[in-house]
Amino acid sequence: MLNRKLGVVDLSKGKIEIQEVSESLRKALLGGRGFNSYYLWNMVPEGIDPLSPENVLIFGAGFLTGTLAPSSGRFNVSAKSPETGFLGDTNCGGFFAPELRYAGFDRLILKGKAEKPSYIYVEDGAIEIRDAQDYWGLDTLDVQKAFRKDLGQVEMAVCGVAGENLVRYACIRTGIKNAGGRTGMGCVMGSKNIKAIVAQGTIGIEIAHPEEMLKTVEELKDYIMKSKITPILGSVGTPLLYEVSNAFGGIRTKNSQLNAWSDDFNASEVEKFVEKMISCSSCFVHCRHRNTLGGEGPEYTALGLLGSNIGMEKLEDCIKMQNQVNDLGLDVSSTGTYLAWATELFEKGLIDEKVTGGIDLSFNDFETYTKLIDMISRREGFGDILAEGQWAAEKLNDPNRDYLIAVKGLPQSDPHDVRYMKAFALGIATSSRGADHLRSRPTLEIFFKLPPDVRNKIYGAEIANNPITLDTKEHVVSWSENIFATIDCLGMCKFICHGFNSPHFVDYDWMLRLINAASGWDYTDAQLRAVGPRVIDIERLFNMKHGLTKAHDTLPKKYFDDPSPLKVAKGHHIDREEFAKALDRFYEVKGWTPQGKVKDDRIAELEAIA
């Protein structure tokens, strides 16, 4: 369980070093996102260009990845982000991460830049840098087929043509749809001339107490399957969230000019395009769709960002665009946000055909959008401008990014319009990656009417059970951040994490049982609960090192200035003064200074954890 190594690959020198990882560091951060953030903080020099060889790219499996722990197939990929200039980190499922561990490694750190297109091959304790010239130029599906034809039943994480062409929001792909979508990690792969990490392994993972592990997994499976949300996720997947959010006016529509859209994107309509439901490694929820149009999905994110957000009226067109984006290796959230941004700017006359190269932009224009998506991936014409993401603001005549729905330069990752859901708003404003629901998604306060005593026990404070107030929501956001960071360190899926979709999923007690059964440690509840805050603080330190200030913990201008126009959410917006007070309270809960800085004594503590 604890004998997996760290591989450090210097691409510029062609040098490979295999290192042991101390047990003390494992106990402090467990694995996955925690380790990745720690190495980034220590290894990435201040002020570097994210596309320079000085950046590092880290692939890190979670502490329980590859075991029988439920939904434990996940890994994180991290670097300084070319999309934002701050923390780049993305989480992905599938089968690649377990295979990396079976090949003997928890983590690979890529330094420098390969002279020519290359890939990294990992097998049973050995790492090689190999020529990838024959694979360069292939999309994310074709390249995986090519590797399997040449190497057998390997698992891999790849970048597509978008990554090769340094699109700043290019993603990493494994399988048909599994995506490390956020913050442009596929772009960093391309900048290093790396097409893929390919793994094949036969090294089993030793479990310290196998009988206890089996017992815990069986009990946890029964517990999860009893939750009301589990069979729904297994039947319709994340599209169930579209109908719920749309009902009260919580769907980003036409670049957040509206906040509700068509019922034609409900889960019942998505079902007409579903071939079957499938899963990631060690998962029994089976929330993923294999669609009839040649891909997987759509997820709730695609329904919003490539559906309502760009005004699409036909579900089929949305699914086709999602498949296209996936194949090319682009991030769904960023692609949909930048298309909507450009379209509103065009419709308002802030840009014209001189900027777009003769392209007439309007919402619900499937042919133009599919053409633009391909142009973005190849950096052709107007696509070259949009490939720059937020950095295109000057050329798009929106230098202050007033029309861009983003935080810290990162487009909002989900379709939620947060003007009504105030805890969601505080969460995306303070997230370490940018406008990101996956860091602190406080679902319990909007989708569940919990008894006050239960709600207050979960969050450790008396919480206002009202989604339209920021009062007390600093506790909700901080608690959510901490437990979600911990589940990322374990390599388990947030879908079964306590607080993400249900109050009856994997909490700290279940995590503790799994950790001790797998490792043989006598790990305590206090040790486990310290992991999340530690990771959050390390990520804050990384961001501060690269220029983040309190001013970056804010929201898109529209959320402050433009009230929601439709449904239950009509008239709601984020009050600037209330938000400022909530931000101050959030910093206090985190133990940071009034300027949002990690305190000196905490920095010294974190510097000593190795």
pLDDT one-digit tens code per residue, 7-56: 999 999 999 999 999 999 999 999 999 999 999 999 999 999 999 999 99
Look at residue 513 in the predicted model and tell me its pLDDT.
Answer: 98
Look at residue 447 in the predicted model and tell me its pLDDT.
Answer: 57
Look at residue 34 in the predicted model and tell me its pLDDT.
Answer: 98
pLDDT one-digit tens code per residue, 504-534: 899 999 999 999 999 999 999 999 999 999 9
Let me know: does 376 contact 167? Beta carbons within 8 Å. Answer: yes
| Of 420, 422, 387, 392, the residue nearest 404 (C-alpha) | 392
Reduced to 3 states (helix: H, G, I; strand: E, B; else coil), residue 62 is coil
Q: What is the identity of the amino acid at 214?
A: L
Backbone angles phi, psi at 92, to 5 degrees: -145, 150
Look at residue 235 in the predicted model and tell me its pLDDT.
Answer: 87
Query: What token pair was written down for 321?
Result: 């665009």
Backbone angles phi, psi at 19, to 5 degrees: -125, 150
Q: Determine how β-strand 118-123 pairs with β-strand 172-174.
A: unpaired
Mean of all residue pLDDT scores within the chain: 96
Element of type H or E holding 33 = helix 32-43
Q: Summarize the confidence of residues 548-566 as an average pLDDT.
A: 98
Give the angle subtended at the CA of 382 by the CAs of 378 and 387, to the nearest 5°.
55
Instruction: Please tell me which residue, 135 or 465, carries the higher pLDDT value.
Output: 135
Task: Give pTM, 2 decimals.
Answer: 0.97
Query: What token pair was written down for 449?
Result: 């009417």
Q: How many residues does the chain have?
A: 610
Token look-up 């597509």 returns: 160
The rounded percent of the chain whose pLDDT value lies above 90 is 89
Element of type H or E holding 87 = strand 87-92
CA distance 498 to 483: 8
pLDDT band at 258 (very low <50, low <70, confident <90, very high): very high
Element of type H or E holding 517 = helix 508-519
Element of type H or E holding 581 = helix 576-590
Q: Summarize the confidence of residues 111-127 as an average pLDDT.
A: 98
Torsion, Cα 74 66 42 546, to 10 degrees, reads: 0
Query: What token pair was written down for 481?
Result: 């951040």
Secondary structure (DSSP) of 405-456: -EETTEEPSSSB-TTS-HHHHHHHHH-SSSS-TTTT--THHHH----HHHHH
At residue 574, does pLDDT exceed 90?
yes
Q: What share of the chain is helix, strand, coil (3-state, %, to 5)?
A: 45, 15, 40
Look at residue 227 in the predicted model and tell me its pLDDT.
Answer: 87
At residue 331, does pLDDT exceed 80?
yes
| Of 235, 311, 236, the residue nearest 266 (C-alpha) | 236
Query: What token pair was written down for 164?
Result: 């090769």
Range list of β-strands (E), 498-550: none
pLDDT one-digit tens code per residue, 67-81: 999 999 999 999 999
pLDDT one-digit tens code per residue, 179-215: 999 999 999 999 999 999 999 999 999 999 999 999 9
Q: At what angle do helices 508-519 and 210-225 cross, to 10 degrees?
A: 160
Let me know: does 535 contact 489? Beta carbons within 8 Å. Answer: yes
CA distances from 535 to 71, 224, 532 (A): 21, 27, 5
Look at residue 1 in the predicted model and tell me its pLDDT.
Answer: 64
Element of type H or E holding 390 = none
pLDDT one-digit tens code per residue, 222-251: 999 988 888 888 888 899 889 989 999 999
Look at residue 35 in the predicted model and tell me its pLDDT.
Answer: 98
CA distance 122 to 75: 16
Among 12-21, 246-255, 281-290, 582-591, name the one with the lowest average pLDDT: 281-290
Structural domains in the chain plus CATH codes: 5-200 (3.60.9.10), 237-407 (1.10.569.10), 420-503+524-607 (1.10.599.10)
Look at residue 591 in the predicted model and tell me its pLDDT.
Answer: 98
At residue 481, does pLDDT exceed 60?
yes
Neighbours of 594 (CB within 10 A): 10
